[in-house]
Amino acid sequence: MVSANVYGDLSSEMEVDAFRRLFPLRYHERFLLDSIRPDARPLGRARDTSVALGAVASADGSALVKIGCTTMLAAIKMEVMTPSKESPDEGSIVVEFYMPPICSPHVRPGRPVEEALVVSKQLSDTILSSGMINLKELCLVSGKAAWMVYLDIYCLDADGSLFDAALLSAVAAFSHLWIPVVSLNEDGRVVVSEENEERKLGKEPINKGKRKLTLSSLPFSLTCILHKNYILADPTTEEESIMETLLTVVLDSSGQLVSLNKPGGPVLAYASAVQDCISLTRQRMKELQNILNEAISDMEVD
């Protein structure tokens, strides 16, 4: 026989769930009074994060990243192209961010997602402005051939802080990237080929075997919510929807500020709040560096 206490607990849970749905802001603010959040995190703590390299076998570099439930899959493909006349000794990077319907109930099939376009532009600007990649290293033959790097990032689960997870997946994919072997074909064109094929044909490859891309000043980010006098790091989708003022800080691996983005919102970003967000980002950057280094070490062992 079910006890009255069980019925009481169920009734209480239903009341809490109903209150959360009807008055989400008041529900969250009750937790804020105790400097904690509904998922038991302190205000300044990010969710558990994991990085797995080599998630896509057919890609030249790939990574699967999870921050809480937010999940990103990044894959890189390299193609040989003719460089522009303005930059004859530089390659190019094209970044695309996708939000398929599987990632959120708010995404509808066949409809463009504005947030995806914003994140794509933000990612491209961050990767180029951070100095992580020297585009001259992507040059094969000055004025004739260079690498075109296609970075595709798919959001598999959108539960807040999409840019943070997408940027981490991009950095992880570039850390896993191996630049393919290329050689000149009979027409004098630069083509991608297998290293052992070149040896059989007696051709001299342009680059001596597959190699890693030199990375410097890796960018890491943290998105925070500014709500009244509170700062919440790494918000979930629910928190983003009810507390609308976001601030995203991007730092490079040396701690230098790369960018600061506040896409509107009712709360003013005072200097003290910005400094607090930068301090939280510095702590988060160290965490992400350790997580990425562990993933790289695990890949090398395998």
pLDDT in tens, the chain (302 residues): 444 443 345 457 768 788 778 888 888 888 899 999 999 999 999 999 999 999 999 999 999 999 999 999 999 999 988 898 999 999 999 999 999 999 998 888 877 788 999 999 999 999 999 999 999 999 888 888 899 999 999 999 999 999 999 999 999 999 999 988 877 665 556 666 664 454 444 455 555 567 888 998 999 999 999 998 899 999 999 999 998 789 999 999 999 999 999 887 777 778 889 999 999 999 999 999 999 999 999 887 66
The bridge status of strand 211-212 relative to strand 178-179 is antiparallel
- CA dist 135 and 176 (Å) reads 17
260, 256, 193: which is closest to 222 by C-alpha? Answer: 260
Whole-angstrom Cα distance, residue 206 to residue 183?
A: 5
Distances from the Cα of 90 to the Cα of 141, 147, 173, 228, angstroms:
10, 8, 20, 47
Give the whole-angstrom CA distance, residue 128 versus residue 146. 17
The candidate with the shortest Cα–Cα distance to 21, out of 238, 181, 210, is 238
CB 137 within 8 A of CB 42: no
Q: What pLDDT was estimated at residue 62?
A: 97
- 172 vs 218: CA distance, rounded Å: 10
173 vs 287: CA distance, rounded Å = 18
pTM of the complete model: 0.88
How distant, in Å, are the alpha carbons of 127, 189, 202, 272 from that of 60?
Answer: 18, 21, 25, 43
CA-CA distance, 118 to 128, in Å (whole number)? Answer: 16
Whether residue 249 contacts residue 258, with contact meaning beta carbons closer than 8 Å, is answered with no
Please tell me the predicted confidence (pLDDT) of residue 94. Answer: 96
Give the residue carrying structure tokens 């925070």: 224
Residue type, 178: W
Q: What are the angstrom distances between the C-alpha of 97 and each of 86, 137, 211?
A: 27, 24, 26
Listing DSSP states for 156-206 in one string gives EE--S-HHHHHHHHHHHHHHH-EEPEEEE-TTS-EEEE-HHHHHHHT---S
- Which pair of structure tokens corresponds to residue 48? 């558990």
Q: How remote is the C-alpha of 298 from its chain's centroid?
A: 20
Q: Are 237 and 47 in contact (CB under 8 A)?
A: no
Element housing 250 (H / E): strand 246-252
- d(CA 90, CA 143) in angstroms, rounded, equals 9
* 8 A C-beta contact, residue 134 and residue 166: no
